[in-house]
Structure 1
């Protein structure tokens, strides 16, 4: 089936320490989005659990790909709601001490359609915060895109946003998914600028779904989830807190932008 439009719901969360509470909250919001006729629902990075600066504390909820309580529940809710579900990111075991930060898409039957392991691992240090994902994460290697009702979608996660060459490698896309947990510091400075830039240069929709608020751990994520059209216009957004934003991907809008400004055809450097 090739659709001419696709209604998307982006779920922003302020995840807490208890992963079961987060899973319950996510499922409630997924069902709310489905009731609003969204056909693709997107969760943020680390929706199942967000820690402070010690990512090692998440290891106890890492699962094998395709198995585990968390994945079974997400598959079930996708099927029950008859939606495509981009399950933000969950932790997939890579070894006893490391795991992948993995973004999974389930189809309307609850089947695993595609998955992507985050390639670029975040590292940041200032006078107040220090993060180094490479301590407990293993970097993915494969660039991944998928087909959803005839739309070509590119998969990416958080820090990937800063690397435009990743999206160029995917070829022409209709929209890009970016579940994130941007810090307040980096988000305030760069979030919107980067997200709109990726939409403009790829002439496609960009769905930037963030964690948004002050967490029980003390970590402060930026929020400001947004959906951006191929001209770089923010068509839907929010600030902080648990919220759902909606927008409809229109194939005609993508075609119109590329017709009046055929920048993708003018590329001469691979």
Structure 2
């Protein structure tokens, strides 16, 4: 029997009812009905799929546009062999079934933790987000693995025995509700992870879980409400509940928490879903009324953002047209863009910003690359001016051979400017045109400059 409850989100009386989002991507107030689900998975995949199908149907009847299913919604094995043996790749029949359900009901599905077949007999714990046309929009592989042994409480689980950890924090995904940041279960204990997703633009954080009964009773609601308050986002946490086998039970209490930290919907005991209408305006109204983001002292502690991991600083390179850029010369990387030190500088502090994808002309960039490129240019300009004690910059692209482009890859020049650095101000363009005559810097100098700039980006708020 599927049970459900429905509660509508009511604005906190101390907050403004309507606030214009400062982020220009949101020009209207978003409202969206969502369903957070709870179930008791076992090792019968067909039975678990039927339960998920029933939950999705129930959410559809209540007009939900997004359904959040818990971690291990596909199965919970009785032993290590079950975990690996039942796993499928993401193009397997189980995922196809979920994609068909999304299309059939025109609903977004958050599959909170699928056992994705990985190498060496292990799995990835993969949070898959599917849109209402059945397309996989994002896959996040759990990065924090639950390796805990608490003998006095009877809690002992070593997830790393059978799960390969993920290596990436996935960009928040644009949905009918806003931008959703993907996490899984144990990730909720790491506020750095939450802040990173919020700094990447998340309006909603998700922590689909299979919390143990002992840890859930002590910390579940506390952690979820804390993550909501400190990031000022909605937090949605689907959950496993009850006894899965003789060795394992889950706490349940799937819930939705608003940006003020109020639990606005929660599942009762057993299998079911809780449905709520969320108003994205509450995210911006909370951030306006309690502007903690503006008060953070990122001059004293780092702004949390996803880090990139060069494998080998001496050998690994980015392609840069007919040339290459070494990883250790790059001081900032985003999803689509890199910023790096320059071999021939027209002025001190002259750096380059380019898309990661090797594209010759600006007109060949897609909209995501263009947006990311210029946001990165803005960030870099602020730091470069501060480092070089400058109050102006020349920012330019040489787009095509007739414009002076010699590297067959789109790149933006950022040159911090000082009074009198050229006899005539526009002579800077002559220097760029004749850059082959400029002094060639050593690789050691470029690497040291990149290292110093990289540290600044870790400690400054932009």
Q: TM-score interval w.r.t. the shorter chain?
A: over 0.9
Note the C-alpha offset of 1:205.
0.5
- Tell me which residue corresponds to 1:63: 88
Whether the 8 Å CA contact 1:173–1:202 is kept in 2: the answer is no
The alignment status of 1:41 with 2:70, answered yes or no, reads no
Larger radius of gyration: 2
What is the deviation of 1:150?
6.4
Distance in 2, Cα, partners of 1:260 & 1:147: 25
Normalising to structure 1: TM-score of the pair? 0.95
**TM-score when scaled to structure 2?**
0.56
1:6 pairs with one of 25, 32, 39: 32
Aligned residue among 290, 307, 318 for 1:261: 290
Aligned Cα RMSD in Å? 1.6
Aligned partners of 1:230 and 1:253 also within 8 Å: yes
Alignment of 1:1-270 (within 5 A): 4-52=30-78, 54-65=79-90, 67-127=91-151, 128-144=154-170, 145-149=172-176, 151-170=178-197, 171=199, 172-269=201-298, 270=303
Deviations 1:11-42 (A, max 9, x none): 10011221110011111111110121000001
Matched-pair contact (CA < 8 Å) for 1:43–1:88: yes
1:99 and 1:175 mapped to 2: Cα distance? Answer: 27
SS of 1:74's partner is helix
Distance in 2, matches of 1:240 and 1:223, equals 7
Structure-2 separation of matches of 1:23 and 1:119 = 25
* Deviation (angstroms), 1:149: 2.6
User: Structure 1, residues 186-243: CA drift from partner, whole Å, max 9, x if none?
Assistant: 1111101100000000101000111011223441100011100000000011242101
CA contact (8 A) 1:51 1:217 kept: no
Could you list the structure 1 runs, at least 4 aligned residues long, displaced by more than 4 angstroms after superposition. none
Moved more, 113-122 or 10-19: 10-19
Q: Which moved more, 1:31-40 or 1:88-97?
A: 88-97
Contact 1:181 1:211 in 2 (8 A): yes
CA contact (8 A) 2:31 2:177 kept: no
Whole-angstrom distance in 2 between the partners of 1:249 and 1:263:
22
